[in-house]
């Protein structure tokens, strides 16, 4: 009898949990994240940015759709060749992060992504955009202060350093320990739930492979 009760209760608990995860919001997000993970081309990223934007419009209190929309725009910008178009993607990504930050306040994921986008802004016109380098570093430091275990911070830091010329304090050699740290942190990292940001492990491996 007792055993049956336990089974019954655990079944009940399971179904309520499953129900919570199956709200239209969660479903829409899971679907969009899955498609974003599969995205390859610029048009895929634009499509997914739009999908997250629609979810964000319908859920004005959620920061994650804005975060992913920003990430999709960043990726869109990276897959675009034209500098002006690239810039427009990155500007959009930054605007979306502004909105996300308004909802969630200080958030390590938002700051980390901001540091990524700001650095990409520099790459378009380095001589005139060096102020973005300082902004990017400041954002990443804020992220690290909030959550030193977030592996994406180290990936972005390492990647930024990787592509910074040696005489500006960067270079492959300086980047290596940071990227190795990122790898370690990724191995230990567990996302809070299905929807939490969980990208970057493959990119870390890709960068580290360049040292072989």
Partner 1 sequence: MKCQRLYFLLSFLPISLWTPGNSAAQVRIKGNVTTITHKAVPFASVGIKGSYDGTTADSTGKFHFTTSERGLKTLLVKAMGYETDSLTVDLNKPVDSLQFRLTEKSNSLNTVTIGIGSFVSGIQGKGISLNALDIATTPGMAADIFGAMQTLPGAQMAFGESGLLVRGGSTAETKTFIDGMLMKNPINAQVQGLSSRARLSAFNFRSTDFSTSGYAAQFGQALSSVLSLQTNNIPEKTSTTLRLLSVGVEAQQNINLKNSGLVLTGSYYNLKPNYTYLNPSQIDWIKPPATAAIGAQFMHRIGETGMFKYYMDYSDSKLGLNRATPNSMNDFAVVHNKNSYLNTTYQDALSPLWRLETGIAYSYTKDDIKIQLGNVQRLDQLLQLRAVAIHNVGKLSLIRFGAETFYTNRGESLNGLSRSYQDQLSAVFAETDLYLSRKLAIRAGLRGEYSSYLAKSNLSPRISCTYKLNSYTQAGLGYGRYFQSPADEYLLRSKLDFQTADSYVGNFEYKKSGYNFRFEAYFKAYGHLIKTADGLFNNNGDGYAKGFDLFWRDKESMKDSEYRIGYSFLDTKRNYLDYPTLATPGFASKHTFNIFYRKYFGDIKTQLNAGYVFATGRTYYNPKNPHFLADKSPNYHDISVNANYITTLFKQLAVVYVNVGNVLGLRQIYGYNYTADGTVRTPITPSTKRNIILGLIITIGDNTFYN
In the complex, which residues of this chain contact partner 1 (CB under 8 A)? Answer: 24-25, 28, 43, 46-47, 49-51, 53-55, 57-58, 83-84, 88-89, 92, 127-128, 130-131, 133-135, 137-138, 165, 167-169
Q: Which residues contact 198 (CB under 8 A, 6 or more apart)?
A: 189, 191
Q: What is the smallest separation between the CB atom of 100 and partner 1, expressed in angstroms?
A: 15
Alpha-helix residue ranges (DSSP H) falling in the chain: 2-20, 24-38, 42-58, 64-78, 83-104, 108-124, 130-146, 151-163, 172-188, 201-209
Select from 48, 19, 55, 50 the least CA-distant residue to 33. 48
* Closer of 170 and 208 to partner 1 (Cβ): 170
* Closer of 42 and 203 to partner 1 (Cβ): 42
* Closer of 52 and 186 to partner 1 (Cβ): 52
Q: What is the smallest separation between the CB atom of 46 and partner 1, expressed in angstroms?
A: 4
* Closer of 101 and 180 to partner 1 (Cβ): 101
Q: How far is CA 89 from the centre of its chain?
A: 15
Q: What is the smallest separation between the CB atom of 133 and partner 1, expressed in angstroms?
A: 4
Q: What is the smallest separation between the CB atom of 165 and partner 1, expressed in angstroms?
A: 7
* Closer of 92 and 97 to partner 1 (Cβ): 92
Q: What is the smallest separation between the CB atom of 176 and partner 1, expressed in angstroms?
A: 17
CA distances from 78 to 97, 117, 153, 186 (A): 17, 10, 19, 23
CB count within 10 Å of CB 196 equals: 13
Distance CA 15, CA 51 (A): 28
* Closer of 11 and 83 to partner 1 (Cβ): 83
Distance CA 109, CA 126 (A): 25
Q: What is the smallest separation between the CB atom of 75 and partner 1, expressed in angstroms?
A: 14
């Amino acid at each position: 009898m007792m055993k049956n009760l336990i089974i019954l209760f655990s079944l009940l608990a399971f179904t309520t949990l499953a129900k919570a995860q199956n709200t239209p919001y969660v479903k829409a997000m899971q679907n969009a994240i899955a498609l974003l993970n599969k995205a390859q081309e610029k048009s895929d990223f634009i499509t997914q940015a739009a999908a997250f934007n629609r979810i964000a419009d319908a859920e004005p209190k959620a920061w994650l759709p804005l975060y992913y929309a920003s990430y999709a725009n960043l990726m869109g910008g990276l897959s675009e060749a034209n500098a002006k178009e690239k810039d427009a993607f990155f500007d959009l990504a930054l605007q979306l992060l502004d909105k996300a930050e308004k909802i969630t306040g200080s958030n390590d994921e938002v700051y980390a992504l901001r540091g990524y986008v700001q650095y990409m802004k520099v790459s378009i016109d380095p001589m005139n955009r060096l102020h973005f380098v300082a902004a990017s570093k400041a954002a990443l430091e804020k992220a690290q202060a909030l959550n030193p275990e977030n592996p994406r911070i180290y990936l972005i830091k390492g990647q930024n350093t990787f592509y910074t010329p040696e005489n500006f304090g960067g270079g492959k050699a300086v980047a290596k320990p940071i990227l190795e740290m990122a790898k370690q942190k990724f191995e230990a990292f567990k996302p809070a739930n299905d929807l939490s940001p969980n990208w970057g492990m493959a990119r870390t491996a890709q960068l580290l492979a360049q040292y072989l």
